[in-house]
Amino acid sequence: MKNLKNALLLKQLYRLKQLGYSYTSVVPFQEEEPDLTLPNTLEKLQKQALECHLCLLSKSRTHVVFGEGDLNADLMFIGEAPGATEDRLGKPFVGRSGELLTKMIENVLHVKREEVYITNIVKCRPTDNREPSPTEAHTCQPYLLKQIELISPKIIIALGATAYHYLTGDETNISKVRGTIHKQNGYTLIPTYHPSYLLRNPSAKKDVFEDLKMIKELM
């Protein structure tokens, strides 16, 4: 909630900056206190996210990539941020790393991609494929937390260091925590390597295979 308030304030300050202000000592606009509660259905939440302008990623995005899959899924995969293909198509993990993720889900876990839910820490593409900044990640976090609350998965797989970091607050290197089990907020979180890391480091695929086999047993 505090993140959302700060993001709204930041948005007002950016507006003032565009108007030429470089300093203000007062709360910029005395607008009525906005309603900061997020909708309680995924459909309405997605609609709100599609119209989101709370951070600068909204200026360069083509599409908001909210997430896709089974809204009652027991398994949820969370990546870092949409890439160029995802931004163009408005769907998560549909580029090269998405192809690999689909194989991981279907060939190792033996479930259809449509039966899990897939989303990211931030819903809009950071240009140049950079990591989302802490401000961007924290600004987008209320959408992700609400998605998790509404879908209520049993197991969340954090794909890569960024997802693990923002889901747990822990900055331990992903190579040390991959394959470990974290019980939190009513779900089991398991971090593993990000598919794009696997594309660059195919020798790490065997580790992910082990992690997925363990997840399969938990399922």
Smallest distance from ligand URA to CB 11, Å: 25
Smallest distance from ligand URA to CB 130, Å: 12
Smallest distance from ligand URA to CB 101, Å: 8
Dist. CA 173–CA 156, nearest whole Å = 18
Binding site for ligand URA (CB under 6 A): 79-83, 86, 92-93, 95, 97-98, 120, 196
Q: Please provide the distance, in angstroms rounded to a whole number, between the alpha carbons at the two ends of the chain.
A: 33
Name the nearest CA neighbour of 87 among 115, 133, 128: 128
Q: Which residue is nearest to ligand URA (CB)?
A: 79
* Residue 144 structure tokens: 């992700």
Smallest distance from ligand URA to CB 161, Å: 11
Smallest distance from ligand URA to CB 197, Å: 10
Closer CB to ligand URA, 9 or 199, in the complex: 199
Residues in the chain: 219
Closer CB to ligand URA, 102 or 188, in the complex: 102
Which residue has tokens 């398991």? 190
Smallest distance from ligand URA to CB 21, Å: 36
Closer CB to ligand URA, 92 or 153, in the complex: 92
Q: Decide: 136 and 122 in contact? Cβ < 8 Å.
A: yes
Closer CB to ligand URA, 26 or 160, in the complex: 160
* Residue 146 structure tokens: 């609400």
Burial group, residue 107, by CB count within 10 angstroms (0-12, 13-18, 19+): exposed
Dist. CA 47–CA 66, nearest whole Å = 9
Strands 117-120 and 155-159: unpaired
Closer CB to ligand URA, 4 or 81, in the complex: 81
Closer CB to ligand URA, 79 or 142, in the complex: 79
